[in-house]
Chain A
Amino acid sequence: KNQVEQSPQSLIILEGKNCTLQCNYTVSPFSNLRWYKQDTGRGPVSLTIMTFSENTKSNGRYTATLDADTKQSSLHITASQLSDSASYICVVIFFGNEKLTFGTGTRLTIIP
């Protein structure tokens, strides 16, 4: 069964610091992998979309990386801001069924 697992479940960091969120997926291949940001009580907003042939994609202070050998993606946030406080969701679209498989998310809190 295709699964997507994210770690850590929650993370608290000081404003201005960097952090890295992890996404591990089982079974491959996949067609693309996405990272979403979801503010509390709001819908998810797309941050990055990577195909299986890409290994990095940036969107401002957000940089997603992909290692197909270890079946792992990371989302790196640089110089965190209070507005980065949100849940970050990893989504993998696997070949064969083209279904979106959502991870459970990482809850990030930035403190001043």
Chain B
Amino acid sequence: DGGITQSPKYLFRKEGQNVTLSCEQNLNHDAMYWYRQDPGQGLRLIYYSQIVNDFQKGDIAEGYSVSREKKESFPLTVTSAQKNPTAFYLCASSRGHPGYNEQFFGPGTRLTVL
């Protein structure tokens, strides 16, 4: 998993609750990303950050929020506004722009809404 850790591995949430997924990397990468993976679909980008204290929305940012206060950390909060949050969430990092630098993925967090 290339020096990227995600926690927890499994997470259960009641409807109406906010939950935060952790992502930490020790690769000294500037860029970090959050993806969502659903059965039968390709990975979809939620948020990305190219540098500390800066982040941009991806294709499906509604109902999610992030912060990037430290280079090593990029936590994702799934808010109650996300109507269908049950999915497998993957964090990734790269040295620079993902178009020109390899992305390394974490082991993922499976979120289930009860």
Contacts and interface: CB of A to CB of B under 8 A. Distances in A.
Interface string A53-84: 00000000000000000000000000000000
Contacts of A99: 45, 99
Interface residues on A, range: 20 to 34
B98 A98 contact: yes
A42 B108 contact: yes
Interface residues on B, range: 20 to 34
Given A42-B108, A43-B1, A43-B90, A102 B43 contact: yes
A104 B40 contact: yes
A42 B110 CA distance: 10
B107 interface: yes
Contact of B102 (A43, A46, A105): A46
Given A32-B99, A89-B43, 20 more contacts: A4-B42, A41-B107, A41-B110, A42-B1, A43-B4, A43-B105, A43-B107, A44-B105, A45-B105, A46-B102, A46-B103, A89-B42, A93-B98, A98-B97, A98-B100, A100-B45, A100-B99, A101-B42, A102-B43, A103-B42
Interface of B: 1-2, 4, 40-45, 88, 90, 92, 97-100, 102-108, 110
Interface of A: 4, 31-32, 34, 41-46, 49, 89, 93, 98-105
